Amino acid sequence: MPVPVTEAVNPRRLIRDEVFLRLLDAIVDGDLLPGEQLYDAEIEKWVGVSRTPVREALNQLAAMGLVEILPQKRTRVTPIDPVRLRGLLETLGPLLQGIVRDTTPLLTDGDKEALQAFAASFADDDIDQLVRNNLLTEGFVNVYIRRLDNKTVARVASRHLPELRRALKAAPTDKVHESSLPFILAAVKASVGGDARAAAAAVGDYTKAAVTELVDAFTAEKKDN
């Protein structure tokens, strides 16, 4: 595995959390590619820690579906599987719809400004770049999750959203992002206007579009390989 170049361990974080976050970012951002072998010794050298926190982090990532561990054989970044991806999106879709529906009436002026800034950013950047910079999650989805302030929902989202973010960033074609853009902007407009039903419907339309485009794109890529 090529060792990513990053800064030293942040002493304010627990070591196991630091290793987990380093690996999570590297996998989601594509520095560690789907199917790539992971070696404990190289990770230990990269992060500068012992084997125990490395194993703990890898087990945590395995529980999230981002790492595949075969005891006594290999550890690797989980390949992107179209069937699993469809199931993930079909699970996250209703969850995100419910979050947006329940949160829209609770949005503060600051939340609405953040959503409007997110929507306005499309005028200065393309959707592919926004996805790669994680703004789709941080500037859009997380605004609702933070305002809802439900620990159970936040925990479920934090477990599954990274896998979706990875798939979006690794999408073989920009069409995946371009086709879903109108639905995201519609959700922002409805939320800012206080229309919870319309906002949730737009998010539902977005996840359906993402399911179709993402699954089709990765299925075609798999056939080509």
Task: Kindly list the domain boundaries of the chain, sorted by start residue.
Answer: 15-77, 82-224
82-224: CATH architecture: Up-down Bundle (1.20)
- DSSP code, position 4: P
Q: Taking every pair of C-alpha atoms in the chain, what is the biggest distance, in angstroms?
A: 56
Whether 96 contacts 187, CB under 8 Å? no
* 180 confidence band (pLDDT: 50, 70, 90): confident
**pLDDT value of position 200:** 96
C-alpha separations of 19 from 6, 30, 137, 187 in Å? 12, 17, 22, 35
Whether 176 contacts 214, CB under 8 Å? yes
**pLDDT value of position 76:** 96
The CATH code that applies to domain 15-77 is 1.10.10.10
Residue type (1 letter), 98: G
Of 92, 80, 77, 75, nearest to 41 by C-alpha is 75
In three-state secondary structure terms, 117 is helix
Q: Global pTM?
A: 0.81
Same CATH fold assignment for domains 15-77 and 82-224: no
Of 177, 162, 164, nearest to 213 by C-alpha is 177
Whether 91 contacts 160, CB under 8 Å? yes
Mean pLDDT of 29-54: 90
The tens digit of pLDDT for each residue in 79-105 reads: 999 999 889 888 888 999 999 999 999
Taking the C-alpha atoms of residue 49 and residue 182, their distance in angstroms, rounded to an integer, is 45
**pLDDT value of position 181:** 80
